[in-house]
Structure 1
Amino acid sequence: MEPVIVIGTLHLRADRADEARGVIASVVKQTHQEPGCLTYAAHEVADDSLTVVVIEKWASQQDLDDHNTAPWLAEALSRVGELLTGAPQIQVLTPLGYGTTDKASLR
């Protein structure tokens, strides 16, 4: 099976950014315990502290599907929703394979 790479972008409300970061930190901690989670890392954009990017790597599509349907995640997303300026942007990536094989993919 091929690993699955996901990028999630969250734009935090300035007046509730610390609260949003707390929820995000909790999601990261819980996600690290899930089967198939290879990477789940939250990063702040260097020149925009109100934008958080989550980089995910899952062992399989099934592992990602299980994560996305976990009841605890639905609860966390409902809490964080009001702390964002809009819906999270979620992108599942497919490598193009340009360049040398060992450097052309996050997989």
Structure 2
Amino acid sequence: MTELTIIANIHAKADQIEMVRGALLRLVPPTQAETGCINYDLHEDDEDPAHFIMYEKWQDRASWQAHVETPHFAAFKTAIDGALAQFTSSRMTRIS
């Protein structure tokens, strides 16, 4: 079984920072309780409050795929619709 790491860079629009922060914070507890979630850590840039990073570690790709199909993740996507200036994510496998 190969662990999967996800690093999501989330940039809120200037007028949506508080809303995006709230939506991200609401997403953390139910995600951390999911089967296969090793960690799900939200970070905010000290110099740019519109920039958030979600550092995720999953037991395997199937666990992460199940996460993106949960009702709480769907609600998060609906909540932030139109509120982001930029979003990128990387799916990574630890090699050492």
TM-score over 0.5 (shorter chain): yes
Secondary structure at the aligned position of 1:2 is classed as coil
Give 2:83's aligned residue: 83
Query: Which string of whole-angstrom CA distances, capped at 9 and with x for unpartnered residues, describes residues 60-98 of structure 1?
Result: 111101001113211211211222113x2111013343x
Look up the equivalent residue of 1:32 and give its one-letter code. Answer: Q
The question of 1:94 aligning with 2:93 is answered yes
> How many pairs does the alignment contain?
96
Structure 1 consecutive aligned stretches of length 4 or more whose deviation exceeds 4 Å: none
Query: In angstroms, what is the RMSD of aligned CA positions?
Result: 1.3
Query: Which string of whole-angstrom CA distances, capped at 9 and with x for unpartnered residues, describes residues 3-42 of structure 1?
Result: 1100001001111211111100011111011111111001
Alignment of 1:4-83 (within 5 A): 4-83=4-83
Tell me, which stretches of 5 or more residues in structure 2 are unaligned? none
Quick one: higher RCO (CA 8 Å, sep 6+), 1 or 2? 2
Q: Distance in 2 between matches of 1:80 and 1:29?
A: 18
Q: Distance in 2 between matches of 1:67 and 1:94?
A: 17
Q: Distance in 2 between matches of 1:93 and 1:42?
A: 17
Structure 1 or 2: larger strand share?
A: 2
Q: Provide the identity percentage.
A: 25
Q: Which has the larger radius of gyration?
A: 1
Q: Distance in 2 between matches of 1:72 and 1:44?
A: 21
